Every structure is written in structure tokens, then in C-alpha cells.
Structure 1
Amino acid sequence: MSFIAMPGRDKKPSSYAPPSISPKATPTPYVLTFGGEGTGAGLFQDAQEVAVDGSGNIYVSDDTLRIQKFDAQGKFLSLWEIPSETKYFSKIRGGPDKLLADREGKIYVVIGGVALKYDGANGEWLGAASGSDYIFDATLKADGGMVAVSAKGHDDELVVLDAKGKAV
């Protein structure tokens, strides 16, 4: 219980009464919903990451190592799979740690300590970038470059790449 003393008034403390109208949470309205539970086209098995490119296309990754592409209204367009083994990593389980999309429609998938680059138009693999040991997180810069947090032994490093993938 709180007490308030009002100057110039009765010196007796009075009790505080909360407002009679309690604020109520209102649900956030859905802007767009699509998909559902499953492993087919347009369905998700533990959806994990989402990214939107410069054209409004929506990319969603899930636990099945798939990237699915939807238009801005949520219509399914395509899907491609992330390999579970590459020369960069082996036996990946679970989905990506990070999914990024740039303005030109290139998709970056941080998984297994590596950033994989795909063409969002067709899912074609375009290359990979790795830090000294393991990339934990990444973000895209406005100029098309990337900033990544990478491990180097027991130390962490911040790796800054230009739009061509060269270290700055």
C-alpha cells in the first residue's frame, strides 16, 4: 500500500487507489498469414528464420534445411534445399542460424559456421564465406557488404566485407 502526503492539506497520509479502469492488452492484428505445419511446398517444419528482399519476396527457412520463397502476398513460389554436407561443413542438423536477403534478391544463409550465398530467383548456390573458424551471426550493410561475428580460436572477431566479399 502506498501513501501520499499532500502539502497544505491534512497531514494524514491517504491511501492510493489504482484507476478503476484497467488497461487491457489487445491482440496484434495479423498483416499476413500463410503456410502451415508440414514438409510439403508452402508448409513448414519448425520455421526458424525469415528474410525479405528488395522486391518484397519472403524467404523462410525451417528445420528441414529448406528455404522457401513466397511473394509479398504469401503465395508459394519455390523452394530449395541447403545441403547437409559441403566442403565447408558436415552433418548439419536443424535449420539455419540466420537468413538474410539483400535488395538485389541474393539470399545469405548462416549455417554450420559458414555464410552460404544463393540467388533468390532460382535457388542457385553462388558461393560461401567463412570467418577464421566459425561465423555465429551476420547482418547486411546498406552498401551491399556484410558484417559477421566470427570465432578465431578462443577469441571473437568482427569481420567486415565489402559488396564483393572482400575484407575491409
Structure 2
Amino acid sequence: MDFKLYNTDIKDINIEEKINKKIKFDLLDQNKKYDLNVEFYNKDLTENMLSEDVSYEIKKEHYLFIKALRNIFEKNNIKVSKFNLMGSVEDLNENEMLISVLKTSDSKKENIIWPCKEIFIFEDHKNKLDTLLYSNIISENDYEYNLENLKEEFSIYDNEEEHRYLN
């Protein structure tokens, strides 16, 4: 089940109230376990252009949000195993949040935080390219070409001068 929240930020003082109003806990089976995938508009990403030199930090506010959301589900007798929190600026408008509640059989409780979803996706694609190169399925030239296309697609530049040149 997906729930989209508008005019919402993970730092909102009344975040618990907003989530309680939006999520239909009565539709969830209290005997099942669930994973939560939360995508939020991360304003930190708009302040700096994506760059290899910029480290997007996991912040206290991320952990506080996870704790608050886990507590909300616990109060409603819903067990949460895995919690994925991903910041983005690509798929959401400012102050939007998407919460996906998925059934799981996994009992391991864990929190995964990616302040920048685009970096996560970039890394996944890069790892696939690495595997193709190491397996000799693609040449080094193909690898470099595809890596440059990938960097361009996600606006990841080696330095600011390169970015200015491309624009």
C-alpha cells in the first residue's frame, strides 16, 4: 500500500499526526510483519549540485523520523521489520513524501538510510558496469563511455568546472 503525503517534511513538528491521519492502519494485518519504504523530498540536495566531492550525511533528523514512524506503527500493533528511508529531488515535489507499506516474512529489524536516492541508483548502475567490465563482457572504452553517460544522467560531475562547461 502506498500513501502520499503533501505539505509534509520529515522535520515537521506534527509529523506523527499527519501520518496517523493518512495511513489506514485498520487495513493492515496485526499478525503480519511489514517493511516500510519512505521516500521524502530532501531539501539538502537542492542546496548543492550532486557532486562526488559532496557527502550527503545521515542526520539526526533521519533517525528521529524513523523512530517516530516505528512508534506510530507499534502503537497500532503493526510490526515493522525493515525501514528504508530515501531522500530524493527527482520523483517528488517539494514537501512531498511517499510511504510504502509492504508485507514481509523477514523478522530482522533494520534501518537503511540513503539521504540521496539518486546516488544509490547511480552506485547500483555503476556496480553493474563494473561487473560487466570485470567479466570481460564490455571493453574498457565501453565502460568509460557508459560511466560518463551515467554521470551525466544523474548530474554527477568530477568537478564544478566540468559542470559549467557542460551547461
State the TM bucket, normalised to the shorter chain.
under 0.3
Larger Rg: 1
Q: TM-score, normalised by structure 2?
A: 0.24
Greater share of residues in strand: 1
